[in-house]
Amino acid sequence: MKEKIGFIGLGIMGRGMAHNLLKAGHDLMVWNRTASKMDEFVAAGAAPADSPADLARRCDLILICVSDTPDVEAVVLGDSGVIHGIDVGKLVVDHSTISPHMTRTLAAKVNAKGAFWLDAPISGGSEGAAKGTLSIMVGGDAEQFDRAKPYLDALGKTITHVGGQGAGQMAKLVNQILVVINMLAVSEALLFAEAGGLDLEKTLNAVAGGAAGSWMLSNRGTQAIVRDWRPGFTIDLQQKDLRLVLDAADQMGVPVIGTSLVFNMYRTLQEQGLGSEGNHALIKALEKMTGRTIGSS
Ligand code: NAP
């Protein structure tokens, strides 16, 4: 039996995801804090909700994709939050990247109502959200994973049940360590290529198909060489995730040397007012140090 889906948070990621649920023929209800962002979905056949509680009351599966840990807290536990609309058997799926610790706290509150929680953070950028090719890392009960899977299939290509509640968020932090250290490698390599007098586009094409190829190189490296700093993922959001990595690493006593370095480089860019640029603008921190710039717009 098809369940009724509610989607909360129609930002860069949520917008593409909600459109893909509609495209796949799912019965969709939406809610967004800035109400005007719901208009295009209502025009495409979705029903608007008055609040997260209203949406939770009228849907079986409640999908969330908002910015940060306090935002998920507000949407779930706030005065008109999801918690006031859910009851036995409903399932909350949180696609936001937030604290694994807070995830377990929120999940316990939802579980106390007889409802279920999956943490299901995503990777793949705005492009992946729009194309339905996200990687989705899911933590929670295996039976609930099986229940959500047909809906997640409309959103992503690599959907992995990684463990119990909070494990999805931990896997996403692993993902973020890999992303930012890779972006540092891309930045260093491009600046090196520029200093060596290479044509950056040809160089990128030459290395992208070999052992050095990566999603960051092919998607964000190509943007960087034409100095296109529009965000798929902003520096401010990236820093939010790196803070989560540093916190979790501190709690576990694990060194994260590369991640700490990149966190501090992004901080210099935030101090220069560049927090709303894409995370590939990391190269600007290296440019500042060397007095060289790459590419041209
Ligand atoms: P975004 O474009 O900034 O959208 C954020 C969404 O959250 C908006 O719908 C916003 O509502 C809503 N929101 C924020 N705070 C809220 C609050 N306190 N109460 C209610 N709604 C609130 O962000 P995004 O890029 O879609 O990112 C969403 C999540 O996906 C984040 O956790 C991010 O880390 C994760 N993510 C992003 C990417 C990426 O490439 N962008 C990739 C992977 C994962 P308004 O419209 O009213 O502002």
Instruction: Give me the domains of the chain, ranges plus CATH numbers.
Output: 5-164 (3.40.50.720), 171-290 (1.10.1040.10)
| Listed residue (193, 184, 283, 275) closest to 236, CA to CA | 275
Distance 240 CA to ligand 1 centre (A): 12
278 lines ligand 1 (CB under 6 A): no
12 lines ligand 1 (CB under 6 A): yes
The torsion angles phi and psi of 28, rounded to 5 degrees, stand at: -120, 140
Q: Would you say the C-alpha torsion 150, 153, 158, 164 has a positive or negative sign?
A: negative
What DSSP element (H or E) covers 283?
helix 283-290
Mean pLDDT across the stretch 9-17? 96
Q: Among residues of the chain, what percentage have pLDDT more than 70?
A: 99
What DSSP element (H or E) covers 8?
strand 5-8
175 lines ligand 1 (CB under 6 A): no
Mean pLDDT across the stretch 198-211? 97
Give the span between the Cα atoms of 157 and 135, in whole angstroms: 6
Residue 223 — pLDDT band, cuts 50, 70, 90?
A: very high
Residue with tokens 């939010």: 240
Task: Please give the single-letter amino acid code of residue 261.
Answer: L
The pairing of beta strand 47-48 with beta strand 28-31: parallel
Give the span between the Cα atoms of 100 and 161, in whole angstroms: 15
pLDDT digits (tens, 9 = 90+) for 230-289: 998 999 999 999 999 999 999 999 999 999 999 999 999 999 999 999 999 999 999 999
Statement: residue 297 has pLDDT above 60: no
Q: Which pLDDT does position 126 carry in this prediction?
A: 87
| Listed residue (224, 237, 238) closest to 281, CA to CA | 224
Non-local (6+) Cβ contacts of 132 within 8 A are 16, 20, 23, 154, 155, 156, 157
Distance 98 CA to ligand 1 centre (A): 11
Statement: residue 25 has pLDDT above 60: yes
| Listed residue (14, 48, 22, 41) closest to 154, CA to CA | 22
4 lines ligand 1 (CB under 6 A): no
Give the span between the Cα atoms of 216 and 292, in whole angstroms: 22
Give the span between the Cα atoms of 142 and 195, in whole angstroms: 52
135 lines ligand 1 (CB under 6 A): no
Which residue puts its alpha carbon closest to atom 18 of ligand 1?
Answer: 71
The pairing of beta strand 61-64 with beta strand 91-94: parallel
The pairing of beta strand 28-31 with beta strand 5-8: parallel
Give the span between the Cα atoms of 62 and 235, in whole angstroms: 28
Write down the pTM of the prediction: 0.93
Give the span between the Cα atoms of 203 and 191, in whole angstroms: 12
Mean pLDDT across the stretch 133-152? 98
Residue 125 — pLDDT band, cuts 50, 70, 90?
A: confident
Give the span between the Cα atoms of 297 and 293, in whole angstroms: 11
Task: Please give the single-letter amino acid code of residue 64.
Answer: I
Distance 72 CA to ligand 1 centre (A): 10
The torsion angles phi and psi of 113, rounded to 5 degrees, stand at: -90, 5
Give the span between the Cα atoms of 113 and 161, in whole angstroms: 24
Which residue puts its alpha carbon closest to atom 13 of ligand 1?
Answer: 66
Catalytic residues: 172
The torsion angles phi and psi of 145, rounded to 5 degrees, stand at: -60, -45
Give the span between the Cα atoms of 235 and 225, in whole angstroms: 18
Mean pLDDT across the stretch 35-42? 98
Strand partners, 47: 29
